[in-house]
């Protein structure tokens, strides 16, 4: 089905129906994405202020068969926010819909519009004495609507779940322009199919989320952070089991760091203070958040002592102050920036079952070595089985030198992931970057069901064309 | 679209393809449901042993346009398991597919076939030193496939979520007979639409779940139970906030009990030992599960002391032994049986936002009083805003005396729930009992999307016809 360009004949009647400054020409920032791999050639930018205006815009797009690209904070890493081909689209940015509509601390609920910046949602929850646990590198510019549309992950998934686990209800505009008023604050609601979870993670291809009722949590009475040197990824997983046994759900984050990450920091971000004189081959960053009556540092010391007895850990730093906690997290948080400065040949956001993590790391290294000489920075959310497995050129070489090997590296990593029952996109989504990968590695019956659902809800294919499924 | 009866011309070719004892005439137990409100007149019963056999059965039903009723443990309370109208169906019981396929304690994952009894899943997790937290009255006969199909709730939702929150992956047969191999054990997997959550809670109308990868949790190091007398439902909610502040996610269950429940126990189950000499107007049953280093009884005593200072609680019993814990839970667990023996005029499984619970109870009582003289037993999962709001005849009268008022009572309760932004089915689902209610109270845009999805995935309408959506 051919789409129609969002040209002046489309825009003119809309201008008459919407406030004066709602429509304009898309700016550069709406046509690019952070890694610079996708770039749109233009578009009609809409900046609605209400769900009713979103409804008017989508209904008009549906009537005219104009493609719609929902735009959140623009921080996505797989090109889901950038249409590079096809007729000029309507780019729908929700940046003006950024209100925190309500906070219900007694219910542990916050209602935010889709354009609210993630950090603002976190702050509003904190001001009410509650925690909104979604936390990721781009939280200062990512918007909650985009987090929902991509089911964003981050560092607290281990304890609090992915974004979909933090959402109770949605308000959304479906591809025919009709508004779904599903903004429930209910913990239990078994009235029909789970449209909420269908929209969450559909990357704007089934509708536009305009507001969400979000689940808050109590702020743990005390938090503690440690970076422990482990003998191997397998030992790290044993350490995680031990931590669960001792602290239950109190384990909030469990991040794996490889020596390569420390070396990259030394190389390109020497100002980041590192906790170890000699970077360890493998270490983990552990965060715990405990109930009143438990001392987090003591709990981490007890964990370290038991783990040392069992030969799982050999060294470590347990933060004794908030400043030390921040310093340890600073190391972890600068790894992506160090990676960017080095410049990867190929990056992979993958997950495997926890029991297969060690095998993945071992076999992955061997597979890459068969292709050539590379540096591998393997780090990430070990507790979720989610690794950012990034392959870099050796010192003195650049990513351009390996352009022709990128496809081979990607296939080697993804083939291995698939063989181990893993996912080729753990937390970033499919966007436009992994559409072919999904067709190749996805379950064919699930893909058929996805296409049937897409056709049923968006028969003209106007919503984010070319994302998730081939256009 | 008219369905075809599952007669001998349908069965004969299947008999040739499947093991001898796979097909037989449905027995009485497959044609009834616990409350005796729905009764099927017959059906061809299939007892497959594998997902491949399920696939053969569904494909044949699709080819012949035969209606399929998936049957789990038969414990559903809304008639989802019982077809009462239309051509003779194929009743698909998964009772032979009850294997625990694998337990991965190091991953906190268990893989069970859909026919596994919930109590057996709990036991398998426990044997591996883990907790499968789904817990409900019928756990000794409910099957996990049915729990998933209905997104069952229960007493631990407050801490661990509904059944959908306990599932990582599914194996299922879709309405065309094809097998979806989605049995992933991944914590993060953003590869396309959330087919898992679409099937969960769809009550067998979009496919048949044949196996699931389930999320386990650490067993809390110590558990504690208390029954505290609260001044009002509003005070109970303040107590919950206080408990969260002191114990974080350690609060596993928070159940509201009204005096009427104790009185019913005295009336029809006098052998159940009650904790209070004089039944309190309102009380809550609190369960906490805490990490090592915290004494649950001490934690509950501290909670009681603070709550008493604030005037929220006036009396209470804190269990000092496992036997006392069991005794308190025995009271709560016998409330549904006492209700059954008294015989309700109308029962309601509803939820409202936590902040609206007190208003619901007050306005609900007034609305019922306007209809007539009744006894109301309002109890349930207060922490989830989920109340079982059941209306009973006065002593000496029977439900038959109020037959003509049932509709009026139901409408009054559901209208109030809708006005407060609540749900007319919190945890039991829609089944066949609430199809009309869903059409009346459901969001029309969501209903339209549901119908579009149903038609897309099950164009012939063979899967559990008449459940959730009108046939």
B151: left (phi over 0), alpha (psi -120 to 50) or beta: left
Q: Given CA atoms A344, A385, A380, A302 in this order, what sign does their dihedral have?
A: negative
Q: Strands of B90-93's sheet, edge to edge?
A: B23-25, B44-46, B90-93, B68-71
Cβ–Cβ of B442/A192 closer than 8 Å? yes
**Nearest C-alpha in A relative to B162:** A188
Q: Do domains B100-218 and B343-428 have the same CATH topology?
A: no
Find the largest Cα–Cα distance for chain B.
Answer: 74
Whole-angstrom Cα distance, residue A410 to residue A346? 7
Mean pLDDT confidence for A461-471? 97
CA distance A437 to chain B (A): 10
B353 touches chain A (CB under 8 A): yes
**Both tokens of residue B374?**
């009744």
- Nearest-by-Cβ selection for B106 from A248, A294, A354: A354
Q: Which of residues 231-250 of A touch B (CB under 8 A)?
A: 237-238, 241, 244-250
Mean pLDDT confidence for A423-448? 97
Per-residue H/E/C for A108-129:
CEEEEECCCEHHHHHHHHHHCC
**Nearest C-alpha in B relative to A426:** B189
Whole-angstrom Cα distance, residue A400 to residue B460? 54
Start-to-end CA span in chain A (Å): 9
Residue A249 predicted with pLDDT over 90: no
Whole-angstrom Cα distance, residue B153 to residue B159? 11
In a mutational test of the A interface, the residue from B62, B193, B195, B386 whose CB has the highest number of chain A CBs within 10 Å is B193
DSSP character for A302?
H
**Both tokens of residue A107?**
């219910």
pLDDT value of residue B263: 97
Residue B1 predicted with pLDDT over 80: no
Q: Is the distance from CB of A97 to CB of A210 less than 8 angstroms?
A: yes
Cβ–Cβ of A193/B106 closer than 8 Å? no
**Nearest C-alpha in A relative to B249:** A218
- Report the C-alpha dihedral over residues A318, A320, A325, A327, rounded to 10 degrees: -90
A128: nearest Cα among A165, A102, A97, A159: A102
The percentage of chain A sitting over the pLDDT mark of 90, rounded to a whole number, equals 96
Alpha carbon of residue A277 to chain centroid: 32
In a mutational test of the A interface, the residue from B190, B355, B451 whose CB has the highest number of chain A CBs within 10 Å is B190
pLDDT value of residue B293: 87
Average pLDDT of every residue of chain A: 96
Q: Is the distance from CB of A129 to CB of A217 less than 8 angstroms?
A: no
Q: Strands of A68-71's sheet, edge to edge?
A: A23-25, A44-46, A90-93, A68-71
Q: Which residues of A touch B182 (CB under 8 A)?
A: 443, 446
The percentage of chain B sitting over the pLDDT mark of 70, rounded to a whole number, equals 100
Residue A247 predicted with pLDDT over 80: yes
pLDDT value of residue B130: 96
In CATH, A222-419 is 3.40.50.2000? no
Whole-angstrom Cα distance, residue A357 to residue A234? 8
Domain B220-341: top CATH class: alpha beta
Confidence of residue B177 (pLDDT cuts 50, 70, 90): very high
Cβ–Cβ of B191/A455 closer than 8 Å? no
Residue A433 predicted with pLDDT over 90: yes
Cβ–Cβ of A174/B353 closer than 8 Å? no
Whole-angstrom Cα distance, residue A346 to residue A334? 19
Residue A73 predicted with pLDDT over 70: yes
Q: Is the distance from CB of B102 to CB of B51 less than 8 angstroms?
A: no
Q: Strands of A109-113's sheet, edge to edge?
A: A100-104, A109-113, A208-215, A167-173, A179-182
SS3 A96: coil
Average pLDDT of every residue of chain B: 96
Q: Given CA atoms B244, B246, B252, B253 in this order, what sign does their dihedral have?
A: negative
Q: Which residue has the tokens 């902040």?
A: B355
Whole-angstrom Cα distance, residue A373 to residue A391? 10
Q: Which of residues 18-57 of B touch A (CB under 8 A)?
A: none
In sequence order, what are the residues at sequence separation of 6 or more whose Cβ sits closer than 8 angstroms to the Cβ of residue B259?
B279, B280, B281, B282
SS3 A137: coil
List B56's β-bridge partners, or say none.
Answer: none
Whole-angstrom Cα distance, residue A338 to residue A323? 22
Mean pLDDT confidence for B386-407? 95
Q: What is the pLDDT of residues B185-211, one digit of tens each?
A: 999 999 999 999 999 999 999 999 999
Q: Which of residues 164-193 of B touch A (CB under 8 A)?
A: 164-165, 174, 178-182, 184-193
Cβ–Cβ of B189/A351 closer than 8 Å? yes
Domain boundaries, chain A: 100-218, 222-419
Whole-angstrom Cα distance, residue A422 to residue A384? 12
pLDDT value of residue A1: 61
B207: left (phi over 0), alpha (psi -120 to 50) or beta: left
Q: What is the pLDDT of residues B21-68, one digit of tens each?
A: 999 999 999 999 888 889 999 999 999 999 999 999 999 999 999 999
Q: Which residues of B touch A253 (CB under 8 A)?
A: none
In CATH, B343-428 is 3.30.1360.180? no
Which of A33-42, A298-307, B263-272, B316-325 is predicted with the least confidence, judged by mean pLDDT? A33-42
Cβ–Cβ of A424/B191 closer than 8 Å? yes
**Both tokens of residue A415?**
């083939």
Please state whether beta strands A251-258 and A282-290 pair in parallel, antiparallel, or not at all (unpaired): antiparallel
Cα–Cα–Cα angle for A212, A108, B304, rounded to 5 degrees: 170
Q: Which residues of B touch A189 (CB under 8 A)?
A: 351, 423, 425-426
**Both tokens of residue A33?**
């994405």
Other CB atoms within 10 Å distance of the CB of residue A1: 9
Q: Which residues of A touch B155 (CB under 8 A)?
A: none
Other CB atoms within 10 Å distance of the CB of residue A121: 26
- Nearest-by-Cβ selection for B192 from A238, A351, A442: A442
Q: Which of residues 132-151 of A touch B (CB under 8 A)?
A: 150-151
Mean pLDDT confidence for A263-288? 97
**Nearest C-alpha in B relative to A198:** B194
> What does the radius of gyration of chain A's CA atoms come to, in whole angstroms?
23
For A173, the enclosing helix (H) or strand (E) is strand A167-173
Cβ–Cβ of B184/A423 closer than 8 Å? yes
SS3 A235: helix
pLDDT value of residue A253: 94
Q: Which residues of A touch B434 (CB under 8 A)?
A: 191
Cβ–Cβ of A162/B293 closer than 8 Å? no
- Nearest-by-Cβ selection for B294 from A182, A294, A384: A294
The listed CATH number (3.30.465.10, 2.40.160.20, 3.40.50.720, 2.40.30.10) that belongs to domain A100-218: 3.30.465.10
List A70's β-bridge partners, or say none.
Answer: A92
């Amino acid at each position: 089905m051919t789409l129609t360009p969002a040209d002046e004949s489309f825009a003119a009647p809309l201008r008459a129906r919407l406030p004066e400054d709602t429509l304009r020409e898309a700016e550069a920032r709406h046509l690019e994405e952070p890694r610079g791999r996708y770039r749109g050639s233009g578009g009609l930018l809409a900046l609605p202020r209400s769900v009713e205006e979103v409804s008017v815009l989508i209904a008009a797009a549906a009537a005219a068969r104009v493609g719609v690209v929902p735009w959140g904070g623009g921080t996505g890493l797989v090109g889901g926010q950038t249409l590079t081909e096809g007729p000029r689209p309507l780019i729908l940015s929700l940046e003006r819909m950024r209100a925190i509509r309500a906070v219900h601390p007694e219910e542990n609920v916050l209602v935010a519009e889709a354009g609210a910046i993630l950090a603002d949602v976190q702050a509003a929850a904190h001001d009410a004495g509650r925690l909104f646990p979604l936390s990721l590198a781009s939280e200062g510019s990512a918007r909650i609507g985009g987090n929902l549309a991509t089911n964003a992950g981050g560092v607290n998934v281990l304890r609090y779940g992915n974004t979909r686990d933090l959402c109770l209800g949605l308000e959304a505009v479906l591809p025919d322009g009709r508004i779904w008023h599903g903004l429930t604050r209910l913990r239990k609601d078994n009235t029909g199919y789970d449209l909420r979870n269908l929209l969450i993670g559909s990357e704007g291809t089934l509708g536009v989320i305009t507001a969400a009722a979000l689940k808050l949590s109590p702020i743990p009475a005390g938090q503690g952070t440690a970076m422990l040197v482990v003998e191997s990824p397998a030992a790290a997983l044993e350490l995680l089991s031990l931590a669960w046994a001792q602290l239950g759900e109190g384990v909030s984050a469990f991040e794996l760091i490889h020596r390569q990450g420390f070396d990259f920091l030394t190389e390109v971000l020497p100002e980041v203070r590192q906790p170890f004189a000699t970077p360890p081959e493998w270490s983990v960053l552990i965060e715990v958040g405990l109930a009143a009556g438990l001392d987090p540092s003591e709990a981490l010391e007890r964990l370290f002592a038991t783990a040392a007895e069992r030969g799982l850990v050999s060294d470590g730093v347990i933060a004794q102050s908030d400043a030390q906690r921040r310093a340890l997290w600073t190391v972890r948080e600068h790894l992506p920036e160090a990676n960017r400065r080095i410049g990867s040949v190929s990056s992979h956001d993958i997950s495997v079952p926890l029991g297969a993590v060690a095998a993945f790391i071992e076999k992955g290294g061997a597979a890459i070595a068969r292709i050539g000489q590379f540096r591998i920075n393997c780090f990430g959310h070990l507790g979720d089985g989610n690794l950012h497995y990034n392959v870099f050129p050796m010192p003195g070489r650049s990513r351009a030198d390996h352009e022709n090997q990128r496809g081979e590296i990607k296939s080697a990593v993804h083939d291995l992931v698939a063989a181990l029952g893993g996912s080729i996109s753990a937390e970033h989504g499919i966007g436009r970057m992994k559409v072919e990968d999904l067709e190749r590695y996805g379950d064919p019956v699930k893909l058929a069901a996805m296409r049937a659902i897409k056709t049923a809800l968006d028969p003209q294919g106007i919503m984010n064309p070319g994302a998730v499924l081939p256009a």
